[in-house]
Amino acid sequence: MLITTTSGYSYSHKRCVNIVEWFVDEYLSRYNIDINIHHCRLVNRESVYGWVWSVDCDYRPREFDIEIHNQMSVEDYTKTLLHELWHVYQHVKGHLKDKYGKRLWKGVDHSEVDYTDQPWEQQAHKMEEVLFKKYNKSA
């Protein structure tokens, strides 16, 4: 079961929900997940296009908040949302964990690794292109 909430301004609610529902159906259909997506001018405030974090717990998280920039092209928006949803996948599957103030990837502490060298980010960047093509074929 999926519960999706969206908020914010200057975005397509229908597009957002369609992307999330497609992703969860494809990759996380066995799990009960809550995904809350807030659209805002993130780039102006934080110099990023999107991010995600678990809300409920570090062990087996099932509720997530995503903040995403609301002033992007349809293609960039879709890729960014899919990128953040891939992080949800990484958390749900247990590959990416936040534990005792550390960021673990497959059990190894990567807390001090630069953003571009973080294995979960490298994987998410690769997957956003794969997911984008797959999503567009299904739409």
pLDDT digits (tens, 9 = 90+) for 16-51: 999 999 999 999 999 999 999 999 888 766 678 999
pTM over 0.85: yes
Domain coordinates of the chain in residue numbers?
A: 2-138
- For residue 35, count other CB atoms closer than 10 A to its CB: 26
The one-letter code for the residue type at 52 is V
Q: Looking at the domain that runs over 2-138, which CATH code has it been given?
A: 3.40.390.30
The pLDDT tens digits for 78-129 are 999 999 999 999 999 999 998 888 999 999 999 999 989 999 999 999 999 9
pLDDT at residue 100 in the model: 84
